[in-house]
């Protein structure tokens, strides 16, 4: 907890500034693990708070013509597939109370400039969701709480086959090919190693109502302290005792 000293020798509080910022929750986990369901349930249960959801998918790079021509060789599960600089700047703006326009990503055309962009307003809680949101330390540092959704690989694959064939109009051979070539190796090499950064690991994703209830209770407690610190910015003891 950082405090600064004034000329009078009295600490002024940068902690008070910190507590004006929203509570940021990161939700990571393998593709089709149920991250979206977990986020939806948290948002639903926090109905009386201002909550926004930011998806890492919105920050996929647009593909060049050359990459588009050979799209089946493109690795969408590698950290380099995302524009992390843009993600960071959008998150920083939101944390500092500015609205941002977040691109809409179209999985069918592989483009992230689908018009219109989504206007996201600053809120009390920001949930950042995506397969690799724990990968970059700069993104991790923005988070007050990190959740990893841990769902068995066979369940993830079954959901993915259903989703990619039904919603994205892909054929099953292409889905299985992408899974063995990119999705599974990237899960082992990049996603699973970030599980160690999680504060909370949720087995069975959105089916785990007990875990979601506990998480929501914890967020509510933190938001209560957040409000208290906004009203009484000189409550140093509260800051240092309860900081996550
Ligand atoms: N992906 C793809 N085609 C693209 C872009 C991404 O198939 N043009 C795939 C990547 O291969 C990656 C997945 O999308 O595996 C990431 O999205 P995912 O985490 O499955 O989406 P969510 O809906 O957030 O997942 P969940 O079921 O956990 O909510």
| Binding site membership of 107 for ligand 1 (Cβ less than 6 Å) | yes
| Binding site membership of 33 for ligand 1 (Cβ less than 6 Å) | yes
Pairing relation of β-strands 145-150 and 200-203?
A: parallel
Q: What is the pLDDT at residue 235?
A: 42
Q: How far apart are CA 55 and CA 78, in angstroms?
A: 16
Ligand 1 centre and the CA of 169: distance in Å? Answer: 14
Asked whether the beta carbons of 175 and 161 are under 8 A apart, the reply is yes
| Binding site membership of 156 for ligand 1 (Cβ less than 6 Å) | no
Query: Residue 89: CB partners within 8 Å, gap ≥ 6?
Result: none
Q: What is the pLDDT at residue 80?
A: 97
Ligand 1 centre and the CA of 167: distance in Å? Answer: 12
Residue whose CB lies within 8 A of the most ligand 1 atoms, among 26, 27, 28, 31, for a mutation test: 31
Q: How far apart are CA 141 and CA 6, in angstroms?
A: 28
Ligand 1 centre and the CA of 180: distance in Å? Answer: 15
Q: What is the pLDDT at residue 231?
A: 52
Query: Residue 22: CB partners within 8 Å, gap ≥ 6?
Result: 94, 95, 122, 123, 124, 125, 126
| Of 81, 57, 194, 196, the residue nearest 134 (C-alpha) | 194
Asked whether the beta carbons of 194 and 130 are under 8 A apart, the reply is no
ipTM of the complex: 0.95
Beta-ladder partners of 23:
125
Q: What is the pLDDT at residue 116?
A: 82
Q: How far apart are CA 170 and CA 177, in angstroms?
A: 11
Q: How far apart are CA 106 and CA 179, in angstroms?
A: 19
Q: How far apart are CA 240 and CA 170, in angstroms?
A: 52
| Of 217, 198, 219, 177, the residue nearest 72 (C-alpha) | 177
Q: What is the pLDDT at residue 21?
A: 84
| Of 188, 135, 175, 149, the residue nearest 34 (C-alpha) | 149
pTM greater than 0.90: no
Beta-ladder partners of 28:
148
| Of 100, 71, 68, 73, the residue nearest 87 (C-alpha) | 100
| Binding site membership of 131 for ligand 1 (Cβ less than 6 Å) | yes
Residue whose CB lies within 8 A of the most ligand 1 atoms, among 38, 55, 57, for a mutation test: 57
* Nearest atom, ligand 1, residue 164 CA: 7
Task: End-to-end CA distance of the chain: give it in Å, rounded.
Answer: 10
Q: What is the pLDDT at residue 20?
A: 66
Question: pLDDT of 129-165, one tens digit each?
Answer: 999 999 999 999 999 999 999 999 999 999 999 999 9
Low-confidence ranges of the chain (pLDDT < 70): 1-20, 226-244
Asked whether the beta carbons of 29 and 150 are under 8 A apart, the reply is yes
Q: What is the pLDDT at residue 71?
A: 93
Q: What is the pLDDT at residue 238?
A: 34
| Binding site membership of 190 for ligand 1 (Cβ less than 6 Å) | no
Please confirm whether the linkage preceding 203 is cis (ω < 30° from 0): no
């Amino acid at each position: 907890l950082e405090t600064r000293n004034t000329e009078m020798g009295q600490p002024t509080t940068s902690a008070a500034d910190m507590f004006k910022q929203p509570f940021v929750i990161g939700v990571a986990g393998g593709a089709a693990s149920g991250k979206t369901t977990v986020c939806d349930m948290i948002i639903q249960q926090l109905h009386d708070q201002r909550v926004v959801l930011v998806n890492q998918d919105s920050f996929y790079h647009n593909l060049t013509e050359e990459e588009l021509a050979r799209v089946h060789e493109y690795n969408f599960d590698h950290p380099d597939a995302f524009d992390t600089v843009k993600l960071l700047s959008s998150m920083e703006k939101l944390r500092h109370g500015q609205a941002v326009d977040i691109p809409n990503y179209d999985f069918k055309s592989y483009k992230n400039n689908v018009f219109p962009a989504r206007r996201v307003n600053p809120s009390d809680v920001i949930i950042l969701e995506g397969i690799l949101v724990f990968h970059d330390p700069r993104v991790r540092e923005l988070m007050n709480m990190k959740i990893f959704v841990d769902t068995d690989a066979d369940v993830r694959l079954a959901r993915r086959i259903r989703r990619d064939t039904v919603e994205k109009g892909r054929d099953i051979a292409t889905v299985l090919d992408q899974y063995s070539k990119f999705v599974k190796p990237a899960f082992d090499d990049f996603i699973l190693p970030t599980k160690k950064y999680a504060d909370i690991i949720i087995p069975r994703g959105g089916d785990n109502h007990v875990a979601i209830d506990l998480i929501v209770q914890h967020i509510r407690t933190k938001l209560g302290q957040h409000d208290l610190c906004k009203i009484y910015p000189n409550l140093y003891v509260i800051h240092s005792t309860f900081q996550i």
